[in-house]
Structure formats: structure tokens, C-alpha cells
């Protein structure tokens, strides 16, 4: 029996399959489409997703294929144009522009390095489960069917998810009544490379007329979206996403909108593809049913404001993969998998609410929350599978928070300084200890004591203000040469257990805190 079936080979499904493979889990990934989609629906990549890709070892490939989004030029009729230049200098990464088809190509290539390929033209036809596994019927490209059983199934097959429908999970919400036009097109204008543009004409008590252009890596090319004049209303087509059953706009239709809203009437040419799309706001009633999970658009759909959709889905997958790996390896109880919905569904709900509010007030008083849109602030504080024994007043990231990066770490024998995220990279939990002077030997003794009890794959790292000499056996020690780690993580002697997804699972004032062993015991109880 193969461990996991992943249904859907978009960015979310490919991330899930690649992360499962990286964690040593056997999986298959299927997609109903015979060929990859040519649409560049999702473009914006958040700093947090780039951190995820960094951990996966593919950030450089993505950056090389993309274009940094430098800012936004706003042209609101009746007001002078204004440029807002993005400043992400306080974050590990800026915002990247990368068309979805490139994201999928690079993720598929990465997945192939693990010997896993997408089984295209293969659809989920039926699904049933019991205590032992999930039985599925797959439609094959030749018209035949295949019956197979898996330990778990992961549905990331879009807004019209066959997995969600098979489970009968409610997907409540509503759609905007209007249709939008979408196109991949060349625009001849003086907009600086890397700048996006939005041209609006505000309409009282209604969505504004709009022309929005997001730059693509190829010079002069943009993904353009506009309201669709005289398009089918809510009775035409499906209720979300690209409308394959509706004719896409031609070049003249998009040019007419640009002529109406963009000063200088820029020349549009070389329309490679176009489509109609509709926006919905929906959230699945649950993310898990027994041995089956959903993520991405199968679990939450919302307006594209701030480029949150694909990024939220990728992080859904990143959150669940390591948990599935531990459970399948019998190193953690099945109940750990409940934390997926507990942690990720509130994030989906928040993104739906925030992007809806931004879309309904687009161009008016509300301003986007820059830090929220980066997804750096996503936190799982207060959820059942994180534990904080340091107290609310303690400095540094709390249990459930993303572990911030820190630069300037020095290791004996290594000439160049390192980042904390370099140290954390991998599939293990990492216990980071802010070492007090002379504590390295005791930390090494502690490591030997807990090895039989921890149950989890775990590395121990010590970070101190000075060079304490040779690393004790089993302990990697780093010198906080510039004091950056101390400034971010606070109290000397404090300890942080970092999960494989880069979040703090436990925090205490000392690695000798009984709470750490209690957390290990709970995580590994089977």
C-alpha cells in the first residue's frame, strides 16, 4: 500500500508531494489535466513562501525564474498618479513575481529529483475509507479505471475539488456577481520594470472600473485583469475561477478598457491567452475527515487581493507534510494530524475575511496590511500542539510563532557567517539553546539523557555570545558574533524547539525545564 495519494498537481499538490518525498514518505500524485495549465493565475510569491522554498532547497531556482515586484503605481481618476515602492529590507525576502506555470514547472522538476512524477490525465472517481486506509477509484488516460488503497489522501484539486465533493464537506460562501477578464499580454508604456499598475474609476456603491497589470518576468509582458463589460452574470459559468466554458476576451476588448482608464492609451499586443473568471469567498467546514485532507482552493477561495491564495495553500501543505511523515513512521500519534485543521483553518478564514474586505473597498480608504500580506505574521499561538513554558512576558518568539531568522552566526572552522535559517534547514525538529557561559558540557549531557525519551528526530544547537571552543559531541555550537540572535530571541538560557515547518513548538526558560520533556512525551505518544 502506497502511503499517500495527492490529488491535484498545482502548486499546492506539488508542494505536498515534494515535502512528503523529502521526509521519506512514499506517495503518488495525479491530475485530471493531460497537460499542465498554461494560465499564470497566481503570480505574487510572499516572503514566507520564499522561506518555505528556501527550506525545500528551491528558492534560488524560483528567484532566478522570477521578477521582484518593486512597487505599485496607482492611477485613480480625479487624483494624481502615485507610486508606492515596496520596502522589504527588514525581511529575509522581498515579494517575487512568478507566473503559476513556472512555479508548477519548477516544483515538478524538484519532485522528479525524488523519483516521483505527475500521473496526468488521471482523475479521482470515487473514494471510501475505513480504519485501515482509503480506497479510491481512479480514471486513467486510456479510459480505464484503477482501484488502489492508500494510508492517507490529500485533496488539493481546486475550487471544484472532487475530493471535497466525495467527502460531502460543505463549502459555504458567496461569489461576486460580476465577471472579470484575464489576459497574458504585452504592454508598451513607460512603467518601470517590476512595477505593477492599477488604474481605477471609483463607482459609488459598486466595484470600481479597473485595469490591473502585474509584471511578468519576460520584459514588457503583464498579466492584465479588468472588469468584464457585458459579461454573463451570476447565472453563466461556474461559481469560481477561470471559466473554460466562456469565451475569453480578445485583444480589442482589453485594449478598450486600457484606453478608457490608463492615461496615454498604451498599446497592447501579442495576447497569448485570455479567459473570464469569477471571484468567490468560500471556506470548507472542515479540513480533515478521517484519513482524507483538503488544502488550497479545495479548502478556501477568496479574492486575489494581496496574492494570498496560492501562498496560503502552499503553507497548508508545508504544515501537514511533516506531521504525516511522523505519524506514518510511528513516531507520533494520529491525533497530531488534528492540529492541521486547528492551525490552518483559522488562517484560511482570516485570509478570506481580509481579502474580501480589501476587495470590496478597493481604491477607497482602506490600505493593505503590508506585514499581513507577507504572511510572516502567521502564528499558531494558543493551539493544542504548541506549548509555552516561558511566560507571556518573556522576550522573543512565543510558542506557535514563526521562528525569525538571525544573521551573523559563526561556527568554528567555517569561514563565512551563517543565518539561523541555514541552521534550521532540514526535516528534523531543532532544539535551539541560548547558551549561558560554560553550559555547553551540561547541554551535551542533557542531549544524551533525552535521546531515548524524545521520540522525535531532533537536533540540538547551542548559540552563545562567545566562542566556547570545540563543539561537544552531538551538539552544534555557534557564536552570535553580532548579537543579532540575542536581540531577537532574548533571555540567555532560554530554549526553543523549532518544528520542521519553522514554527516554535515549545519555548522555555531553560532546556532543563520539565515542560520540554512533557512536550516530547505528548508529541511521541502513540
pLDDT band at 374 (very low <50, low <70, confident <90, very high): confident
Stretch 218-227: mean pLDDT: 93
Does residue 485 surpass a pLDDT of 60? Answer: yes
Tell me the DSSP string of 226-287: EE-TT---TTSS-SSEE-TTSPPP-HHHHHHHHHHHSTT--EEEEEEEEEEEE-EEEEES-S
Does residue 369 surpass a pLDDT of 60? Answer: yes
User: Nine-digit cell at 100?
Assistant: 503559476
Domains of the chain: 2-65+99-174+281-374 (3.50.50.60), 177-278 (3.30.70.2450), 387-524 (3.40.30.120)
Q: What are 381-399's pLDDT values in tens digits?
A: 999 999 999 987 788 899 9
The reported pLDDT for the residue numbered 244 is 46
Element (H, E) at 85: strand 82-85
CA atoms within 13 A on the CB side of 84: 11
Q: What are 311-324's pLDDT values in tens digits?
A: 999 999 999 999 99
Does residue 243 surpass a pLDDT of 70? Answer: no
Distances from the Cα of 219 to the Cαs of 185, 188, 194, in angstroms?
11, 10, 9
Q: What are 29-82's pLDDT values in tens digits?
A: 999 999 998 878 889 999 999 999 999 999 999 999 999 999 999 998 878 889
Q: Which of 214, 177, 216 is nearest to 199 (CA)?
A: 214
Element (H, E) at 158: none
- CB-based contact 457:427 (threshold 8 Å): yes
Reading across the β-sheet that carries 71-76, which strands appear in turn? 82-85, 71-76, 195-203, 206-215, 221-227, 180-188, 267-278, 241-242
User: Nine-digit cell at 400?
Assistant: 506557535
The torsion region of residue 502 among left (phi > 0), alpha (psi -120 to 50) and beta comes to: left
The reported pLDDT for the residue numbered 262 is 94
First to last CA, the chain: 21
C-alpha 519/C-alpha 243 separation (Å) is 48
C-alpha 339/C-alpha 426 separation (Å) is 21
Does residue 469 surpass a pLDDT of 80? Answer: no
pLDDT band at 364 (very low <50, low <70, confident <90, very high): low
- DSSP alpha helix (H) spans, 30-99: 47-56, 59-65
pLDDT band at 238 (very low <50, low <70, confident <90, very high): very low
Stretch 492-516: mean pLDDT: 95
Q: What are 147-189's pLDDT values in tens digits?
A: 999 999 999 999 999 999 999 999 998 887 778 888 999 999 9
The reported pLDDT for the residue numbered 473 is 80
C-alpha 71/C-alpha 86 separation (Å) is 5
Element (H, E) at 459: strand 458-464
C-alpha 355/C-alpha 133 separation (Å) is 37
C-alpha 435/C-alpha 437 separation (Å) is 6
Amino acid at each position: 500500500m502506497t502511503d499517500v495519494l495527492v490529488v491535484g498537481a498545482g502548486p499546492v499538490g506539488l508542494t505536498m508531494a515534494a515535502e512528503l518525498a523529502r521526509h521519506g514518505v512514499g506517495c503518488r500524485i495525479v491530475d485530471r489535466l493531460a497537460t499542465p495549465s498554461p494560465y499564470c493565475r497566481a503570480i505574487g510569491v510572499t516572503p514566507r513562501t520564499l522561506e518555505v522554498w528556501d527550506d525545500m532547497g528551491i528558492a534560488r531556482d524560483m528567484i532566478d525564474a522570477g521578477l521582484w515586484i518593486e512597487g505599485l503605481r496607482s492611477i485613480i481618476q480625479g487624483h494624481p498618479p502615485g507610486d508606492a515602492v515596496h520596502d522589504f529590507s527588514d525581511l529575509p525576502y522581498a515579494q517575487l513575481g512568478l507566473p503559476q506555470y513556472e512555479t508548477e514547472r519548477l516544483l515538478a522538476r524538484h519532485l522528479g529529483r525524488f523519483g516521483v512524477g505527475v500521473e496526468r490525465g488521471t482523475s479521482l472517481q470515487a473514494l471510501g475509507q475505513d480504519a485501515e486506509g482509503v480506497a479510491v477509484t481512479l480514471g486513467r488516460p486510456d479510459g480505464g479505471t484503477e482501484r488502489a488503497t492508500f494510508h492517507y489522501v490529500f485533496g488539493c484539486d481546486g475550487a471544484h475539488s472532487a475530493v471535497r465533493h466525495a467527502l460531502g464537506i460543505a463549502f459555504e460562501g458567496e461569489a461576486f456577481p460580476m465577471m472579470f477578464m484575464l489576459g497574458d499580454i504585452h504592454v508598451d508604456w513607460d512603467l518601470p520594470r517590476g512595477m505593477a499598475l492599477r488604474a481605477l474609476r471609483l463607482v459609488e456603491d459598486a466595484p470600481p472600473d479597473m485595469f490591473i497589470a502585474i509584471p511578468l518576468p519576460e520584459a514588457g509582458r503583464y498579466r492584465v485583469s479588468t472588469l468584464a463589460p457585458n459579461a454573463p452574470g451570476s447565472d453563466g459559468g461556474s461559481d469560481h475561477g477561470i471559466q473554460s466554458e466562456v469565451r475569453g476576451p480578445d485583444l480589442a476588448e482589453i485594449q478598450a478598457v486600457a484606453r478608457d482608464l490608463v492615461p496615454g492609451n498604451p498599446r497592447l499586443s501579442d495576447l497569448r491567452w485570455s479567459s473570464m473568471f469569477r471571484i468567490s469567498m468560500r471556506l470548507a467546514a472542515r479540513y480533515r475527515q478521517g484519513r482524507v485532507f483538503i488544502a488550497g482552493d479545495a479548502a478556501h477561495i477568496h479574492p486575489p487581493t494581496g496574492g494570498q491564495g496560492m501562498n496560503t495553500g502552499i503553507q497548508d501543505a508545508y504544515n501537514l507534510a511533516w506531521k504525516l511523515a511522523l505519524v506514518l513512521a510511528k513516531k507520533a500519534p494520529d491525533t497530531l494530524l488534528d492540529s492541521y485543521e486547528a492551525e490552518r483553518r483559522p488562517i484560511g478564514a482570516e485570509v478570506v475575511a481580509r481579502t474580501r474586505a480589501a476587495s470590496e473597498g478597493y481604491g477607497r480608504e482602506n490600505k493593505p496590511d503590508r506585514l499581513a500580506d507577507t504572511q510572516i505574521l502567521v502564528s499558531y499561538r494558543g493551539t493544542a500542539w504548541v506549548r509555552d513554558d516561558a511566560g507571556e512576558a518573556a522576550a522573543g518568539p512565543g510558542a506557535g510563532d514563526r521562528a525569525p531568522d538571525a544573521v551573523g552566526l559563526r561556527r568554528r572552522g567555517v569561514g563565512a557567517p551563517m543565518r539561523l535559517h541555514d541552521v534550521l534547514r532540514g526535516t528534523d525538529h531543532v532544539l535551539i539553546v541560548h547558551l549561558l557561559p560554560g553550559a555547553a558540557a551540561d547541554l551535551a549531557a542533557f542531549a544524551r539523557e533525552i535521546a531515548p525519551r524524545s521520540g522525535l528526530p531532533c537536533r540540538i544547537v547551542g548559540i552563545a555570545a562567545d566562542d566556547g571552543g570545540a563543539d561537544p559531541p552531538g551538539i552544534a555550537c555557534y557564536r552570535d558574533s553580532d548579537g543579532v540572535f540575542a536581540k531577537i530571541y532574548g533571555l540567555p538560557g532560554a530554549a526553543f524547539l523549532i518544528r520542521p515547518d519553522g514554527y516554535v513548538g515549545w519555548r522555555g526558560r531553560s532546556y532543563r525545564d520539565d515542560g520540554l520533556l512533557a512536550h516530547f512525551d505528548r508529541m511521541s505518544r502513540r
